A and B are shown apart, each in its own frame.
Chain A
Amino acid sequence: MWRVIKSVLAAFFGVQKESRRHEDFSRGRASHFIIAGILMGGVLVLLIALVASLAAR
């Protein structure tokens, strides 16, 4: 779980260690990454909306 979250965060940032990438591709399940990616994408949008509404205050 935590490993999946960390990998998705690394993908958001755009940088990932080669060794971790290997690990993800050999041990992880694609569906986990996809679901985590969609959920965290939603969280990112909400966060940005929150920052924007705070700034507009």
Chain B
Amino acid sequence: MRMRLVWTAGLVACSGLSGSVLANGWNMPVGVTDVSREIHSLHMTIFWICVVIGVVVFGAMFYSLFRYRRSRGAKAANFHEHTTVEVIWTLIPILILVAMAIPATATLKTMYDTSEADLDVMVTGQQWRWRYDYLGEDVAFTSNLATARSQVSGESAKQENYLLEVDEPLVLPVDRKVRLLMTSDDVIHSWWVPDLAVKQDAVPGFVNENWVRINEPGIYRGQCAELCGRDHAFMPVVVKAVEPERFDAWLAERKEAAAQEAMGVDREWELDELMERGEQVYGTICASCHQPDGSGSPPAFPALAGNQAILDDPDYHIDTVVNGVSGSAMPAFRSTLNPVELAAVITYERNAWGNETGEAIQPAEIAELLDEQ
């Protein structure tokens, strides 16, 4: 009677614990694609198979330890081999493994079938942001961390989506098959969104393929899952899934904006316009190293405010930003920023925080430079 009680209490405690673990986000998410559901159900099936095996094996072990203990006069058996038993304990695991492998292989096959996609998106990892190119649509942008650095350093309170928010999410349509082509510009990154059941390495010089067909509109967050350097934790992924009609409208709007931007390269820009645009670019890309007020953190990150080296020599300034400084933390921005953004941020640095050159660097000048190099 006492024994029964102990067993029941133990069982209730175990199932209660596993229930709360599953419900509290410790388990993998069910996700919002057919593939993610399949993976989740495979995961649960295999998990319960392991639980049953564990209970049987450890149960038999503890029972034997307890029942045939020496104080009860148990005597060790002294036989050497038993072919039938050995055959049975080899066959059973084989059968279990094959039974698990068949559905798992079927799921793997679906996961790798990237054919007949409605939309191709190139995903490029860069230290430390993601770049998205909608192939054949002339729409491309980088997606940067939007969490303020003051939250990271503890100067202000952490918000809800701390380190999981970006300035521009990857927008995808629901109910359409989207092929994701993953690559990297520098080191190995990994594009990981648990709700989409995608975790794919982005390797420089290779293009890995994956695909998603999202069932429910919503915002799905993830992170870079391959240690890629200092700001590895600061390059989150945010996917915004919307209805197909809304996606088409969004894409058309972005195409229009891209066309405007391309035209913007040729025209003459006013200083004010460049300053406004430059402040925005500086805030998302450069401020993390050079500080919002341009004071840097010397000696590692030089101050840009009052920096005579760049103020006296515009060509040197432009070259540093476009091509970076090799062997230092200063990245080349030629492929991350477009000519308008480059011109704007350089102009901004030459005219902000007490720097007063009054010069406007024109996008056309930068575009010409990029063409030459």
Say what secondary structure dominates the interface of chain B. helix
Query: How long is the Cα–Cα vector from A17 to B86 in the complex, in angstroms?
Result: 10
Contact partner, B87, options A15, A18, A55, Cβ 8 Å = A15
In the complex, B160 has a CB within 8 A of chain A: no
Interface size class of A (residues with CB under 8 A): under 10
Does A55 lie within 8 Å of B90, measured CB to CB?
no
Does B81 lie within 8 Å of A18, measured CB to CB?
yes
Q: Which of A1-57 contact B (CB under 8 A)?
A: 13-18, 55-56
Does B80 lie within 8 Å of A55, measured CB to CB?
no
Does A55 lie within 8 Å of B109, measured CB to CB?
yes
Interface size class of B (residues with CB under 8 A): under 10
Does B86 lie within 8 Å of A15, measured CB to CB?
yes
Q: Which residues of chain B have C-beta atoms less than 8 A from A13's C-beta?
A: 87, 90
Does B105 lie within 8 Å of A55, measured CB to CB?
yes
Q: Which residue of B lies closest to A55 (CB)?
A: B105
Does A17 lie within 8 Å of B83, measured CB to CB?
yes
Q: Which residue of A lies closest to B81 (CB)?
A: A18
Does A18 lie within 8 Å of B80, measured CB to CB?
yes
Q: Which residues of chain B have C-beta atoms less than 8 A from A18's C-beta?
A: 80-81
Does B90 lie within 8 Å of A14, measured CB to CB?
yes
Query: How long is the Cα–Cα vector from A15 to B90 in the complex, in angstroms?
Result: 8
Query: How long is the Cα–Cα vector from A18 to B86 in the complex, in angstroms?
Result: 12
Query: How long is the Cα–Cα vector from A1 to B63 in the complex, in angstroms?
Result: 46
Q: Which residues of chain B have C-beta atoms less than 8 A from A15's C-beta?
A: 83, 86-87, 90
Q: Which residue of A lies closest to B80 (CB)?
A: A18
Interchain nearest-CB distance for B90 vs A (Å): 6
Query: How long is the Cα–Cα vector from A55 to B112 in the complex, in angstroms?
Result: 13
Q: Which residues of chain A have C-beta atoms less than 8 A from B105's C-beta?
A: 55
Q: Which residues of chain A have C-beta atoms less than 8 A from B81's C-beta?
A: 17-18
Interface flags, B90-114, vs A, CB<8A=1, else 0: 1000000000000001000100000
Which 4 pairs, one residue from A and one from B, show the smallest C-beta to C-beta distance?
A15-B86, A17-B83, A18-B81, A15-B87
Given A15-B86, A18-B80, A56-B109, 7 further pairs, Cβ under 8 A: A13-B87, A13-B90, A15-B87, A16-B83, A18-B81, A55-B105, A55-B109
